[in-house]
Every structure is written in structure tokens, then in C-alpha cells.
Structure 1
Amino acid sequence: MNLFEVYPLFDINPVKAKGSFLWDDKGQQYLDFYGGHAVISIGHNHPYYQAKLKDQLEKISFYSNSVQNDLQVELANKLGSLSGYEDYNLFLCNSGAEANENALKLASFHNGKKKVVYFSDSFHGRTSAAVAVTDNPKIVAPVNASDNFIKCDWNDVETLETIFKTDEISAVIVEGIQGVGGINLPDEHFIQSIRSLCDSNDAVMILDEVQSGYGRAGYFFAHQEFDVKPDLITTAKGMGNGFPIAGVLISPKFKASSGLLGTTFGGNHLACAAGIAVLDVIKNENLIENAEKIGAYIEDKIKKFKHIKSIRRRGLMMGIELDQPCAEVRSSLLKKHFVFTGNANDKNVLRILPALNITEKEADIFIAALEDILQNLN
């Protein structure tokens, strides 16, 4: 059997990782400044993380959600405390797409409505409703398409107000910061208006913090910059540092009932051990503060480099907009300097998503590499 070839692959086979570095099967070292789409939040193979998982493997790896699991309770308590959402409830699942599916479903159960507003350049996942609120027609199959999903331009409050006047809206789903779209930052007025319109129209505000959450943006969740409380918050990528785990933080106004939501693998013992380890490290090593510190350091060092038009950044979630497509720069960073970076739907944007415990010394490797490439770019 062959693999179903849906991914364009670099000719690199990583076999070892530590901190912010990877090594391939030929022994070549790479600096990881992308973290596998913002998944690696506390660095590869952090010793505390490894110990937690090894310890859990000695006890129990999995049982279903038909039994008690104290690790779920510990994870929920620590997540509530560190994020400031102690009064919310937590539903655990496996991926960002699954978290968004459950959030959209829960919103519709709550108010009995079915129309959902999403935004241009959004990405919320590849499953049924999640892909329907993703602004990429190429990945929306006919079975997913529906007039229940209404697109509005990013940061366009006037159009959003018109949509609410003409349709009965169940939910508005918005990213704390658009990642795949190109590190697009929301205006405060935009986020506050979503909250106000949802309040006035019995609609649910869903904040997708799958990529922008877990300390990456210099706050635990990116939306906390604007002092707004969504009804539902979805999280995944950095939550398990590579172990599949995701969740929905649920406002107290939603009432649980037996069978309302469900999952086979969500919140299993190993996943919770990974999630707890990540929260412990973020707290004990002050990684939210470090994300802002190192993010600002990188921005200050590169802001006057040739070919950079703008830098869109919160914490260690950074989009470097070039005056030309970034593909050549990204390729040169990887092949000449052995640095992993990312791209975006905006072809001119180089996406930077390193681990939250990156150091200035490691950042300097990227900075020097980028300067070299841009100085020699036509």
C-alpha cells in the first residue's frame, strides 16, 4: 500500500529533536522556527514533558470516557487558572477541527438557529462544518457547502451589522489572530462589535484560538488583548506539544446533558498527561512573558531589513510581509541555513511560529540567516 499523496513534502526526514532543533537521518541539524504549525509550544522533548508521558505510560494510557479520569479534572483546573477562565467548563477532544465542530454544534443546540458567520481568509479546519467556515473553496467539497454559512470581510463591522439585520445568526466564529491567512490582526472595534452583536441577537461568539492560543500571542489567548469574553473558545495545536489533544472552553450559560457531545479518544490519559505538562512548563518557566520578549526582540532586529514591507506580530506569532513572494526566501532559509519557517495564504508572508521557550541566542541564528538571504535577494 502507498500513502495517499496529499502533502507536498520537503526531502527531509527528521529523526531526532531537542528544544528548538531537529536532526535528519543524515545528521544535519535544523533550527525549528515553525513548530509544525505552532504545535511545539514548549520545545521538542522537554524533559518535564517526557517524564510526565513516561510516568503515565507506566500506569494507564487509555480508557474511554465512560469512567472517571482525574487527569481530566486536573487539566481543566490548571487550564482555567492559567487562562483566567475558572468559571468555564471544558470539553476535551482531539484536534482543532473537532473542537470547532463541537463549538458550532453546541451553539446551534443552545439557540436553535443554524446560520453561522465566518470571515475572509479564515481557516477553521477540514471537517464538515469547520471546512464550511474556512475561506478556501478548493478544500470545501460539495457535501460541505451550504447557505447556512455566511462570509464577511475581515475587520468589516458595517457588513457584519447588515448580516445580522437580514439573517437569524446562530454563531460568529473568528480567529484570535488569523494564522493561515497571513497573521492578520483583528481591530479592537471589530472584536468588541462581534461581542455586542452576538449579545443583542442571541448569537454565540466562538473564538478560535487553535493557533493563536496557549501563550503564543503574549497573552494566554490572543483575544484577551481586547478584554472580551467569548461564549466558546477552541484550542488545540500548542495544547499538547505534539500529542493530539484539543478542547472547547464553554461559558456557564451552556447547560450540559448526557450524550450532548461525545468522543472516543478525547481526553484520554496520555493526552491529559501531555496537556498538564505543557501548562506546568508554561507557568513555571514564564513562557507567555518570554513569547512577548523574544517576539519583540526579533521584530526590532529585522524591521529595517531589505525587502520587508511590514511585520504583523503578537508575541511569537509573526508574519513577515515581503515585497515579493516568500517562497524563494523560505527555500533558501531551509536549504542554505537549515531553518524551518512557514508560509501563508498570502504568498508574500513568511510565517514564524517558534517554541515559546526560544532564546535570544537561538533567535539570532534565524535573524542572521534572514538578513543574509534578504541582502542577496534581487
Structure 2
Amino acid sequence: MELTQDYRALDARYYMPAFSRTMKIVRGKGARVWDAEGREYIDCVAGIAVCSTGHCHPAVVKAICDQAHDLIHCSNLYYVPHQAEFAEKIVEISGLDGGKTFFSNSGAEANEGAIKLARLATGKKKFVSFTHGFHGRTLGSLAVTHKPAIREPFEPLEPKCTFIDYGDVEALKRAVDEDTAGVFVEAIQGEAGVLPAPRGFFEEIREICEKKGALMIADEVQTGMGRTGRWFAYQHTGVAPDIITMAKGIASGFPMGALVAREGLEFKKSEHGSTFAGGPLACAAGRATVRVIEEILPSIPTKAERFAAGLAAHNPRVFGLMIGVTVGERCAEAAAYCAEHGVLVNCAADGNLRLVPPLVITDEEIDTAVGVINEALR
């Protein structure tokens, strides 16, 4: 194959057209990336909240390379290097004292695991989730994801799930019954455009779940790993879920996810498994990622304030480095303008501009990005 062959033609010929894309990113460093034509961008997408420590953070790169020299893969038939140590750290930062973790390869897989664990633990079959929520595209995680455009082609789906309006406590009370295994909820709905849960909503969910014997499952795939200024967004509420799922920023771009369950909730032998989950490279990358985030976590609120002040004219929704701006039908046009002027942003649902930059983004980069976004929204 000729290396000079046009990548667009190759993609069109050999890759299923499941994505809409206009550029090829070939290199990254910190909060900046470069495309195949050599153009430089401040990346406020970060792989959709994935590149938490920035692109190619030296500590993460070193951890992956060092581990790759020793062992790339080890089956879970054996004790895996770094796995128990990283599990200990994830349980610690989750705040679920006495809990245990299970690693996966993605957020969708983590949510699949949560579905299985909730069914095992409760003996119940059904779930409740919320409109505009997003929990993944595998059949199980899609079953608890509301978005009709991606659900309906694959129906009927299992498990059975009732969807109610985000924040509607009375509807939640009616929906959670004696056969409800769990309630899936995001503290901030990222795919919907960075929409926060109403004040007191998590407390209400917790109370309803306890009354009905259902498990409260907090999906922190996008909001976790320091994104909102705490390790997990639910920690702003003072309420502890039964299960937390996570992925995206957990290993700085190395494919990984996890679920953490409170004390007393765990898979027994042969109830769950995975060939690749929690492998040596993933756990090495994850441990390095957590160490970096520990250092920069105190700076997130200040960076959030800088974004909020810079975008104040557009009434942004700012939760740490998770930012939404309602733009409407001009969202795609605004995102394209930003890209043309060296800033990558993303359109989430319903015309909402979404920014989820690397946590290492600098003040100078924030100011530059804000300037371009303001120009685009004028």
C-alpha cells in the first residue's frame, strides 16, 4: 500500500461510514493538536473528555512504554501487573468505602457490567433512566439510553427500561416499582449539552431507591476523573450511589473503563469477565493518569471561572472544565468557524456547543479559545 495514498479515499473505500469527520489529527501535545495538513488547534474536545491529562503527557507515555517493554497482555486467568494497585486507587477516589471495582474497555462496557450486577444483586429485571441521558451504544447500554434516533433501529431492547423527564421526582416515584433493579443517572448530562441535575434531585433518587430496594447507578463516564473539579460529579451532591461507572478520562486515551460498587456488591466467580479489561498497559496508563490529575485537580475551579467569565455574554453552563453554551441551529456553523480559527469545539444535542478540554489547558490557551468562540457566536 502506498503511504501517500489519500486517507479520505482509503476511509471511504474500507471503513464503514459511521462517523462524520472533516480532518485527520496526527499529533498532539498538552491541549494542542495538529492535523494532517500541519494546522495547529487548541483542543477543547479532548477526544470527548478523554484526554484528561492532555495529549501524550510525558508521565503517561513513559508508564505505557515502560510496561510495554515488560508485558503487553496478561489474561485475567492470572494476577495482572498494576491491576490490584489501580483498583485500590479507584475505590479510594470514588469515595465508596469498602467498595470493589471491575475494569472494562469502555464506558458502555462499564454500564453493561452495572446492569448485570444490579440484576444479580436485586433479583429484579427492569431499569429506570432519564430523557436525554446517554449510557452507551452496546445493546444493553443502549437499552437504558433515551435518544430515539440511536435506539429505535435496534428495538426491541433488553433490559426493559422506563424513561422519565430528567429532574421529575414525581414521575420517578411512579416509575420505580418492586421490579426495578436500578436507576441510571448522570449528575450532568454531557451528550445533551452539559445539563446539570436540579438541586436536590440526587437526594430524591437516593431516597426512592432505598424505599423500593433498587440500586442507584451514577454514570460518571463523562463527568468523572476530575472533570468537574471533584473526582466525580456526584461528590458535589453529598449523596453516595450504589454503583459508579467511569471511562473516558481514566487512562488519558488508552481504552479503559471501570465500575465501582459499594461494600457488599460484587461479582462472584464466573459471573462476569473480559479478555482485555484491566490489562497491564491500561492499568499502567490509568495509574499515571491519576497521579497527574491529583496534581492539577486544585486548579480546575480557577480554570472554570476563567471560562465562565470569558463566555459570560452567552450564559454558559460551567461545571469545572465541562462547559455548555446554547447556540441553536447555528451550532455547526459556529463549530466550523472555531476550527477554521484554530479551536476545536463540539456540537452536542439540541444546538448546544460543548467544551471538555484537557484538564492541563493553560490560562493563555483558555483566553485564546474564548476569544475565538466569542467571535464565532457573534
- TM-score, length-normalised on structure 1? 0.93
Q: Provide the residue aligned with 1:175 in structure 2.
A: 186
Q: Is the 8 A contact 1:35 1:353 kept in 2?
A: yes
Matched position secondary structure for 1:22: strand
Higher percent of residues as helix = 2
Picking from 279, 286, 310, the partner of 1:268 is: 279
Shift of 1:372: 2.1
Between the aligned partners of 1:276 and 1:19, the Cα distance in structure 2 is 18
Q: Provide the residue aligned with 2:20 in structure 1.
A: 8
Q: Provide the residue aligned with 2:348 in structure 1.
A: 344
Q: Provide the residue aligned with 2:30 in structure 1.
A: 19
Change (3 A) 1:143 1:301: closer
Q: Is the 8 A contact 2:131 2:165 kept in 1?
A: yes
Q: Is the 8 A contact 1:77 1:86 kept in 2?
A: no
For residues 27-176 of structure 1, the aligned pairs below 5 Å read: 27-140=38-151, 141-145=153-157, 148-165=160-177, 168-176=179-187
Picking from 294, 315, 336, the partner of 2:320 is: 315
Shift of 1:40: 0.6
Shift of 1:368: 1.2
Between the aligned partners of 1:94 and 1:259, the Cα distance in structure 2 is 18
- The sequence identity of aligned pairs, in percent, is 36
Shift of 1:146: 5.0
Shift of 1:253: 2.0
Q: Deviations over 1:240-286 (max 9, x none)?
A: 11100100001112143111111110000001011001001111x2x
Shift of 1:358: 1.0
Matched position secondary structure for 2:350: coil
Q: Is the 8 A contact 2:334 2:377 kept in 1?
A: yes
Letter in 2 for 1:160: L
Picking from 364, 371, 377, the partner of 2:367 is: 364
Deviates more, 1:315-324 or 1:115-124: 315-324
Matched position secondary structure for 2:176: helix
Deviates more, 1:168-177 or 1:248-257: 248-257
Q: Is the 8 A contact 2:127 2:181 kept in 1?
A: yes
Between the aligned partners of 1:280 and 1:46, the Cα distance in structure 2 is 12
Q: Is the 8 A contact 2:127 2:159 kept in 1?
A: no
Q: Which runs of 5+ in 1 are unaligned?
A: none
Q: Is the 8 A contact 2:110 2:257 kept in 1?
A: yes
Between the aligned partners of 1:158 and 1:270, the Cα distance in structure 2 is 46
Q: Does 1:303 align with 2:307?
A: no
Shift of 1:79: 2.0
Between the aligned partners of 1:111 and 1:147, the Cα distance in structure 2 is 14
Between the aligned partners of 1:142 and 1:219, the Cα distance in structure 2 is 36
Between the aligned partners of 1:53 and 1:123, the Cα distance in structure 2 is 30
Q: Deviations over 1:47-85 (max 9, x none)?
A: 111111110011001011000124011111222333433
Matched position secondary structure for 2:70: coil
Between the aligned partners of 1:254 and 1:265, the Cα distance in structure 2 is 23
Q: Deviations over 1:124-153 (max 9, x none)?
A: 000112101111222224455358210010
Between the aligned partners of 2:124 and 2:290, the Cα distance in structure 1 is 35
Shift of 1:344: 1.0
Between the aligned partners of 1:82 and 1:123, the Cα distance in structure 2 is 23
Shift of 1:346: 1.6
Between the aligned partners of 1:317 and 1:255, the Cα distance in structure 2 is 31
Deviates more, 1:320-329 or 1:97-106: 320-329
Between the aligned partners of 2:87 and 2:227, the Cα distance in structure 1 is 19
Letter in 1 for 2:121: H
Q: Deviations over 1:300-320 (max 9, x none)?
A: 12202xxx2x31121001101
Q: Is the 8 A contact 1:131 1:144 kept in 2?
A: no
Q: Is the 8 A contact 2:96 2:263 kept in 1?
A: no
Between the aligned partners of 1:145 and 1:314, the Cα distance in structure 2 is 33
Letter in 2 for 1:289: P
Matched position secondary structure for 1:58: helix
Aligned length: 365
Matched position secondary structure for 1:188: coil
Q: Provide the residue aligned with 2:4 in structure 1.
A: none
- TM-score, length-normalised on structure 2? 0.93
For residues 244-263 of structure 1, the aligned pairs below 5 Å read: 244-263=255-274
Q: Is the 8 A contact 1:128 1:144 kept in 2?
A: no
Letter in 2 for 1:302: L
Between the aligned partners of 2:255 and 2:346, the Cα distance in structure 1 is 21
Q: Provide the residue aligned with 1:290 in structure 2.
A: 299
Q: Is the 8 A contact 1:320 1:351 kept in 2?
A: yes
Q: Is the 8 A contact 2:191 2:349 kept in 1?
A: yes
Letter in 2 for 1:344: A
